Chain A
Amino acid sequence: MLHVDSLTKSFPLDDGVLTAVDDVSFRISPGEVFGLLGPNGAGKTTTMRMILGLLEPDSGYAEVDGVRTATDPMAVKSRLGFVSASDGVYPWLTVREMLLYFADLYAVDATLAEQRCESLADMMDIKHLLDRRAGELSTGQRQRVTLVRGLIHDPPVMLLDEPTRGLDVVGVQTIFDYIDILRRGGKAVVVCTHRLDEAERLCDRFGLLHAGKLKYCGTLNELKEQTGQASLVDIFVDLIRN
């Protein structure tokens, strides 16, 4: 479903070059939740942006459903759903208007968009908010609106960038439920996070990024086997220290 092959991206600095992502490769199948883990600055967001086509890789490629980002970025974008912790809303639009606007951006048929809007709102319990101005919503309500927004075009692949950042217990539980819905819906999901405890509960497989390199990739048991460590946290501490 999602295939990332040898992605590399460097940024010029005043005193040299920073290789933010260095030869990163992984594959994700439908219904699988992949945790792209790493400390701040490990290259998670840069990888995500290259998959989304927001950044052009220096080498390597990302492929969704057999379509490469470099060859047909628009086709790839239309197959991807994206939710970020820093996602905002348009304060002067109603929730419905905002959702329909994004549906329009993804070229979803107007009638279908209305139907999806209703059903997703029902699923995420925001139906009563549909005709409220987005600027009037609470943080938790906004979070649920952005989660619905990411699904409005029913993408086969979902990318979630630090989805639990800044959320309270209820908010985090909402994300857990959401990812469960995605998994059951057969979507390939990438979750970027540095919250290893949450990742352990959420994800089926993990990719551990450090200084731009994908150090380990596999299920929790495979990683434990490879490293001889007892938990994701131990694996990570060991990785950073050595």
Chain B
Amino acid sequence: MCQKELRETMRDRRTIITLVMMPLLVYPLLSMALNRFLVSSTAGTSEQTPYTIGVETDDEGSLLLAWLEDPMSTPPAAILKASKGNLATFRVVNTTSVGLSPKQALQEKKIDLAARIEPGNPPQLRLTAFNGDPASQGAQRILTERLHWLRLARAEALAESQLSDYTPPTDVSVENIGVAEKPSMLGTIVPLVLVLMTITGAVYPAIDLTAGERERGTMESLMASPVPRSYILFSKYVAVVVVALLTAMANLLAMFTTLWAGRLLPLLTGGEDAFPWLAVLQILGLLVLFSGFFAAVLLSLTSFARSFKEAQAYLIPVMLLSLTPGMLSLMPGVTLNGPLAIAPLINIVLLAREVLQGTAQAAPAVITVLSTIGYAAAAIAVASKLFGSDAVSRTSGQSFGAMLKRPTRSTPTPSPQAAALTLALLVPIYYLVSNVLMRIVPELSITWVLLLNAIALVLTFGLIPLAAVVLARCNFSTSYQLATPSPLALLGALLVGLGAWGFAHESFVLAKQMGIGGLDVDRIEKTRQTVEALKVAPAWLLVGTLALAPAVIEELCFRGFLFTALRKVLSPTRVIVTTAVIFGLFHVVTGNMLLIERFVPTTLLGLILGWIAYRTQSVWPGVLMHFTHNALLNLATKYQDKIAFLGEGFENQMHLPATWLIVLTTTTLTGLAVVWFSTRKPQVANSNLATTPA
């Protein structure tokens, strides 16, 4: 199916024009224009191009040249170094030879600077420069400075020869440290152009493969074929992404080759003239991500349109809207952090700029990647809901509102689309909420910090999925897997919780020893402060906010809502792994920090919890296990001084004693075995889920 979509698209000459002709023509033309612009804007300002000074007599010219050629007029080494060791050169011409006074020659821009020397002691040098002309102003500034250095150097030489005890006030030497920030306009324009070209590449196939299909009259036959709608949409999605990506690659290659051939690369990278292979590959990766995101956005819009024209009408505002954040990224001082890291399109442009200039930071980059994946998933969810749906295959007029209407009939579990939309909302909202928390935390007491943490958890992971369940009229019991488990299953989960916290502790210690997450001094200090703060917090508060709230809310969200939604389209193993990885990723991102060391333990915990939820068909054993696990882990931190007598491992957060590890492993394995034996393979419920309408 993908092959057919691609074959059809690639044969269309409109695709070929966007894909091949545009980059081949646009960039050489742009480069030529840019070259001309650079030549004209830097003419005369470069140290290699001599400035032209016009004088009226040859004597004036000779005197001026003598001053400039005097070594004493050379600026100090530090200043020379700032201009990369280049000393501006001057050419002196007698303008009367062409029948003009120096001022007239300057008016006609035949020279950069007019000079007149009036005799006297000292002689008076009168300079005339042209307002607004960078070359003229540059010549005037540099000449004035050079003569100033000459005056100073001569005065100093005289002072040294006349006064035996003369010492200058100071000798200055300069050293530069750090990486220079090179805000380059071209560095932002290039990613922006690439992003816009990628959009251009994706637009035509997106329209053609959806609205075009309907206009040609092939949609109904396609929908009548025994292939799930989501498969058809996915093949179209792949085709659009591939064409967008090919366009991006063609543009990337053409642009960089043109810049390289035109020796403009240093303007982009702010450094070497060598071809920046690594940066190009990294940007290509970003464009893959962006293509995936934007293709989904386009398909979600064009899937609704019934004709090419209608699709174009939908897309024009989107293209204009895309330009606005793109333009914002051109503004000086805009960097990839805070809310900008989750702003679609602009985050990719800014990240690409930072990649090009070698200043990209890991945390905002990860946020950018994750949020873009989230938005792409949401857009695909919308597209799959719209593509070939009743609303479009029916002849009566429908609106986008139809999609947003609450269904009239209730459904047992949320759809995967609802889950994707919820995740897309959770990523930016969770990021914003955790950022706000990180900002206000230093001013608050530990009690408030813990309470706010729990409230934020309820507001994000609690309320957003709940809203999705209510809006989609999903059954609470089946959506959240609220079925009552057997007492034996609860016992098994409790035992796993009693044992598993030790492994979480161990993996933290291991991560710390292996240097995963790059725990720097500042982070270690912060962790130490948190541990100290936890030690003074009341136990009930710790258990309530760090064990009970996460256990209930996170389990309902990940092993309830997300689990049942994904179960419709994925096998049990894949559901368990997917929910565990998402669970792990959410624990990594906290404010602007990436707590990478948390990924492995939380994902492992997620795997166990997912397995328990799958086996028991209920969220409650997971809640119990999660609660026990978190409560013990936090209480162990709180009371680590008091229980140190049990073994030296607790001190300084070192490995647990071997006896502890044996006991904990046995408890965990026993718990898992109890869960295993207390549950039979949940085939009946699976088949129910599988046939639930999406």
A and B bound?
A: yes
Q: Using a CB–CB distance below 8 Å, which chain A residues touch chain B?
A: 11, 45, 49, 52-56, 73-78, 80, 82, 84, 86-93, 97, 101-102, 104-107, 146, 149-150
With A55-B394, A101-B4 already in contact, the answer to whether A82 and B226 are too (CB < 8 A) is: no
The residues of A that contact B218 with a CB separation of less than 8 Å are: 87-90
CB distance from B212 to the nearest CB of A (A): 10
Q: Could you mark each residue 201-241 of chain B with 1 if its beta carbon is under 8 Å from any beta carbon of chain A, else 0? A: 00000000000000011101111111110000000000000
A106 to B395, CA, bound (A): 26
- B396 an interface residue at 8 Å Cβ cutoff? yes
A86 to B227, CA, bound (A): 21
- B665 an interface residue at 8 Å Cβ cutoff? no
Query: Which one of A52, A86, A104, A107 lies within 8 Å of B224 (CB-CB)?
Result: A52
The residues of B that contact A53 with a CB separation of less than 8 Å are: 224
Query: Which one of B7, B8, B220, B693 lies within 8 Å of A87 (CB-CB)?
Result: B220
A92 and B220 contact, CB distance less than 8 A: no
Listed by A's residue number, 11 A-B pairs whose Cβ atoms lie within 8 Å are A45-B395, A54-B224, A87-B220, A88-B218, A90-B216, A90-B218, A92-B12, A101-B1, A105-B222, A105-B225, A106-B226
CB distance from B210 to the nearest CB of A (A): 14
Q: Using a CB–CB distance below 8 Å, which chain B residues touch chain A?
A: 1, 4, 7-9, 11-12, 216-218, 220-228, 390, 393-396, 693
Least CB separation from A92: chain B residue = B11
Interface-central residue, A52, A53, A75, A150, by most chain B CB under 10 Å? A52
The residues of B that contact A88 with a CB separation of less than 8 Å are: 216-218
Query: Which one of B7, B8, B217, B228 lies within 8 Å of A86 (CB-CB)?
Result: B217
Least CB separation from B10: chain A residue = A92
- Excluding A53-B224, A55-B390, A77-B224, 5 further A-B contacts by CB distance (< 8 Å) are A11-B394, A80-B224, A84-B220, A87-B217, A97-B4
A97 and B396 contact, CB distance less than 8 A: no
With A54-B393, A75-B226, A102-B225 already in contact, the answer to whether A82 and B220 are too (CB < 8 A) is: yes
The residues of A that contact B693 with a CB separation of less than 8 Å are: 56
A75 to B217, CA, bound (A): 24
A78 and B226 contact, CB distance less than 8 A: yes
A49 to B393, CA, bound (A): 9
A107 and B226 contact, CB distance less than 8 A: yes
A105 to B4, CA, bound (A): 11
Query: Which one of A54, A76, A91, A150 lies within 8 Å of B216 (CB-CB)?
Result: A91
B12 and A84 contact, CB distance less than 8 A: no
CB distance from A231 to the nearest CB of B (A): 30
A55 to B396, CA, bound (A): 13
What are the nearest 4 A-B pairs in CB distance? A88-B217, A88-B216, A77-B226, A105-B225
CB distance from B213 to the nearest CB of A (A): 8
With A75-B226, A90-B216, A92-B11 already in contact, the answer to whether A11 and B396 are too (CB < 8 A) is: yes
CB distance from A133 to the nearest CB of B (A): 8
Least CB separation from B396: chain A residue = A11
The residues of A that contact B11 with a CB separation of less than 8 Å are: 92-93
A181 to B682, CA, bound (A): 50
A74 and B226 contact, CB distance less than 8 A: yes
A137 to B58, CA, bound (A): 84
The residues of A that contact B8 with a CB separation of less than 8 Å are: 90, 92-93
The residues of A that contact B395 with a CB separation of less than 8 Å are: 45
Least CB separation from B222: chain A residue = A105
